[in-house]
Structures are given as C-alpha cells and as structure tokens.
Amino acid sequence: MHSKDLVMNELKGCFDFFWNEANSDKNSPGYGLVLDKNKKGSELMSSIASVGFGLAAIVIGTERGFVSKDEARTRVIGTLKTCLNNAAQAHGFLYHFLNMKTAQKYEKFHDCASIIDTSILLNGALTAAEYFKGEVATLFEELYAKVDWQKYYDEARNYFFMGYHEDTGGFGQWDMYAEQLMQYILGVASPTFAVPAKIYDGFRRDFGEYGGYEFCNSPGGSLFTHQFSHAWYDFKGVTDRDGINWFNNSVKATLAARQYSIINPHGFKTYNENAWGLTASEGPEGYRGFGTPPFHPNITDCNDGTVPPCGAIGSIIFTPEIVLDAMAHYATIPGLTGKYGFNDSYNLDKNWICDFCIGIDKGISIVMLENYLSGMPQELYMQNKYVKKATDLLGWSHT
C-alpha cells in the first residue's frame, strides 16, 4: 500500500474510533464522552484524555470531510457542556476516568482529579475553540477559567502535584521531564488561577545517551512522553532559556527508540528496524509502561517484545521516513489492522495481537498524522492568545 494511503487509512480509522465510540445520546449526562478503550468489559469507562484527543479528532474529521461541520459543532458543544456541568471534578480538574452514561467517577477505580488528563482535555477544547469559534470558544473559556492551577502548585518545591485529595492535599510530583510541558503553558497563562512562570524551572532535566544519541529522557523512556505536548505546541525552532530545543530532543529520543529495537538486547522476535517505538500500551499481561533507555536510576527494563504502532506514528513529525516504513511493516502483520486502523499492539514472541484500541493511542496517532499532513492542529493551537501569552511568560524564543 502506498504511504499516503496508509496514512489516510489510519487517520480515518482513528477518527471513526472517536466518533463512534462516544456517547451520542444528547439526553444523557455523559453526552460526548469517549471510551477509554473499546475492550469488552470496559463499555462504561471514559477517560478525559480520550475526550481531549477526541475533540481534536473532530476538528480533523470536519476539515477532512468525514463529518459535516454542523454535526461536528453539535457534538463538540455538547461534549464541552458535559465537561462543564456534569463531569466529576475538583477545583476545575476533571477525574481521569468517568462513567460514560453518568459522567460521574468510574466506579471500578479509586481515582482522583488529574492535572495531566485535564490538560489534554483543555488542549483538545482549545483546538476546537480556534476552529469553530463562537459558542465553542465561549465554552472553552469557561472550562479553562474553572481550573485552579494554584491548587496543584507545590510552591515550596516549585512543581505541580500529580493529584489532589480534599482530605490530605496534593500528592505525587511532576519533578522530572515527561509529557507535562503542556501544563506549564496552560498553567502560567490561566486567566483566573495562574501559577508563576518559575514553575518551568522546577523539574529535573536528566540527560543521558543511548544508541549514539544524547537527550533528556523521561524516567521509564516511554515515547509518548516526547510526543503528547508536541501534538499541539510547535516546538520546532523554539529554544527555552536554558538553550533546550524540545523538538530536537524528541527527534533524538525517537531515533534512540528505534535503535533499541535494532540492537534488540533481549533478542525478541517482534523488534526490528521497522518495529519500534516502545511506549505505554496494552501488552499480553495488561497495560504497561514499555520504554527505552537511558533509564533513570531504579527504573528497570520491563519490555517483553510488545510493539504498539502508535509509538512510531506519534513521532511522524520528527522522523517521517522511518515512521512511514514502520507503518508499512505494521500493515503486513496479520490481525493487527481492524475497523479503526491499527489495533493497540502486538507481540510475536508471545503469539499475541491486541484486539482493541486505546483512545489516547489513537489520539496521538491522528493528531500527529494531521500535523504531518497539514500542520493544522499545531497551527490552531499556536494562534491562541493564551498560548502566545505563555510563550512570552516562559521565555521561549524562536531561533
């Protein structure tokens, strides 16, 4: 199959996931919520991150003619109203997992309101606001204004908490580089509960080398940590006050991830030069944080031969040629392609193919594919007034 056809087939499959696997009942409190995964037994579990990617996917699908603009606008407006008025939240942060029908906390998880998942939701809402404008933009403003970033700010140690409980306060810490760059953008530019720009200086930048590439890696080395913020903010040509260009960093992380599969230290059957890109995904033993070196201290290699297509696809704006080669390889794996494009992952060593999709993995795939094709998601994001404000406050400069 020609590479353009591969890209368009996967993009359309991703869109269909977000359009079809959403609550489409306009009378439901959970209207517009999107499944976390279309796995049997998970039919009532939505994730807020999946909803955020879904809002961006609707923009892409509208522009591509997969759905009418009126239908799309109606779904987006309803989704934002659900998030504003019905969804379980604390201080404007939405809970990670919600019941698809009620929009309340998903019963099977001891969950908390999540800063990173709310940030992904806001990024999708912001994208939709810039595209549809009007009522969608008004609803985004309301949703954004409710989020109390200061509640999740550990001022004494100058970083964000990962979660917050009313009885015990904040817990966890975003103290190392990972996927959270978007939180600094949204947090410092907030019109209501802004945190100081110095928070960007609060997390560690740990550089290491693997496969001939030196870069700042996240603790477990999952490739999504180098992709999620880039799905919206265009870091190409942007340098921070420390001289770091996060786009170039993600290029190196991507090349190192591929090199790991080429070196293949454990001799897995699945890995090769076109089967790479380890990231958090489903595996034969369940959802796991697969990743590649250089690992942080006390982090061990937990890889088992599982390869998720989204790992490579999410890096298509960094290294397009090798990603297209990987997609062509994935298309040859029997059973890996389903009604929504590539299923989540596969493992030849254990003769296992995942038979479902995960929302955030289809989400990073569709947004990055569209960024590769047209640049539209990043262009919409970068023109937003809050994003421009954050760029100035954080001292990021174009070179």
Per residue in 171-205, pLDDT tens?
999 999 999 999 999 999 999 999 999 999 999 99
106 φ, ψ (degrees, to nearest 5): -70, 125
pLDDT score of 235 more than 70: yes
pLDDT (average), residues 74-89: 98
pLDDT of 167: 82
pLDDT of 169: 85
Confidence of residue 120 (pLDDT cuts 50, 70, 90): very high
Count the domains in the chain.
Answer: 1
pLDDT score of 4 more than 90: no
pLDDT of 16: 98
pLDDT of 298: 85
Question: How far apart (Å, rounded) are the C-alpha atoms in residues 77 and 285?
Answer: 38
- List Cα–Cα distances, 63 to 11, 91, 138, 169, in angstroms: 12, 34, 21, 43
pLDDT of 2: 67
pLDDT score of 65 more than 70: yes
Confidence of residue 97 (pLDDT cuts 50, 70, 90): very high
pLDDT score of 330 more than 80: yes
Helix 48-63 vs helix 359-373: crossing angle, to nearest 10:
30
pLDDT score of 319 more than 70: yes
pLDDT (average), residues 38-51: 95
Q: How many CA atoms lie within 13 A of 104 on its CB side?
A: 3
Confidence of residue 164 (pLDDT cuts 50, 70, 90): confident
pLDDT (average), residues 307-336: 98
Cβ-contact 113, 85 below 8 angstroms? no
- In angstroms and rounded to an integer, the radius of gyration of the C-alpha atoms of the chain is 20
pLDDT of 67: 98
pLDDT of 35: 98
**What three-state secondary structure class fits 299?**
coil
pLDDT of 297: 87
pLDDT (average), residues 246-272: 98
**Tokens coding 318:** 């960094």
pLDDT score of 251 more than 70: yes
The boundaries of the domain holding residue 375 are: 3-398
Strands 280-283 and 238-239: unpaired
19-56 burial, b if ≥16 CB within 10 A, otherwise e?
bebbbeeeebbbbbbbbbbbbeebebbbbbbbbbbbbb
pLDDT of 110: 67
Q: Where are the alpha helices (H) located in 274-358, listed in sequence order?
A: 309-313, 320-330
pLDDT of 335: 97
> Using CB atoms within 10 A of its CB, is residue 394 exposed (0-12), middle (13-18) or buried (19+)?
buried
**Which pTM does this prediction carry?**
0.98
pLDDT of 141: 98
176 φ, ψ (degrees, to nearest 5): -135, 155
The percent of residues above 90 in pLDDT, for the chain, comes to: 93
Confidence of residue 1 (pLDDT cuts 50, 70, 90): low
pLDDT (average), residues 284-297: 95
**Tokens coding 19:** 């359009």
pLDDT of 256: 98
Cβ-contact 312, 278 below 8 angstroms? no
Average pLDDT of the chain is: 96
Quote helix, strand, coil % in the chain, to nearest 5: 45, 15, 40
Helix 134-146 vs helix 69-85: crossing angle, to nearest 10:
20
Confidence of residue 342 (pLDDT cuts 50, 70, 90): very high
What CATH number does residue 150 fall under? 1.50.10.140
Per this entry, what is the length of the chain?
A: 399
CB-CB neighbours of 138 under 10 Å: 13
pLDDT score of 161 more than 80: yes
**What three-state secondary structure class fits 243?**
coil
pLDDT score of 350 more than 70: yes
CB-CB neighbours of 202 under 10 Å: 18
User: Which amino acid makes up residue 215?
Assistant: F
**Tokens coding 389:** 């404000």
Question: How far apart (Å, rounded) are the C-alpha atoms in residues 276 and 261?
Answer: 5
pLDDT score of 269 more than 80: yes
- List Cα–Cα distances, 89 to 94, 277, 339, 382, in angstroms: 4, 34, 33, 27
CB-CB neighbours of 8 under 10 Å: 14
pLDDT score of 296 more than 80: yes
